[in-house]
Structure 1
């Protein structure tokens, strides 16, 4: 647990517990907080609701790391340098990948596990036992968070004009393709003329080029079946 800079006493709590020493409200506690919590046993860490909240935070942190590990394993971690527009698109893509990974985890849950599970497990003492409650499974909750974040990223991308930029880039690429095709066709025609292209063959060329070239470009772009 990292040290805590306390706004109340103005001092650093070296081991992370946010409580203060008994009888010395301006002196930081020097104990470690409970796992996933912000206070030690002495300063409220033993309270059931505090322990439950700490357990949820610890589990959420574990699941976030597990999700990150899944993403690295599935998609790698070698992200090239990109311009701002590409960075926005990549953020959307990675968030989408996270959603897919979490959906796989949720899909592995039994129907009952999604809304019912262990919320308290006490070993020893008068309150010992396991408590089951109707509560959203944390994988399902994380999926909901990721889906909302994905929608937010996508909305921000659109608001930033990413789609407009993509259209402009596509248009520029289309211009380059058009220029390249024209040069290729002109070169081929010149070679055929030198080789003795007849007027009849030239007529077929002039008739078919405007038909074949657009058709094949549509096929390459997915606008028409093969």
Structure 2
């Protein structure tokens, strides 16, 4: 068998990416894809929507990299995250309300005339944010969705318990006792 001289034909072992499209004769294209894309300019990479999508993917990749460097973990459950944010927004609104309640007056005299106190401005912004987050929660029916998620998790748990009982050969009255014990335990868990 003769030794091959020169770079490998596909260029893949050298880390070079190739256009994923195929030529009209059915063979792989072989051109380099455009940055952020999987195809070359001849196979749609130069189209405005392809360029825009490539830019979006690059920005998203850079944002993920920055978040990774900051040690920020991705949101696993956006519904829970929004509810947590709502709690923080309400707590901030209440904190600014306490500051406003301590004021003797809502305005003060400055060199440029009478001005509104900063505490009032903070309180107004906090109220606006609270309305915004709470409106989003109401629009998305988050409480209803969380109930659906919990019901699906319970169904999956029941299915897993039943499968485990069958696999262990537990049936009849002993299986029913195990199900009741599991139900009691789950009710006691907050």
Please give the range of the TM-score, normalised by the shorter of the 2 chains: 0.3 to 0.5
* Structure whose residues are more often strand by fraction: 1
TM-score by length of 2: 0.45
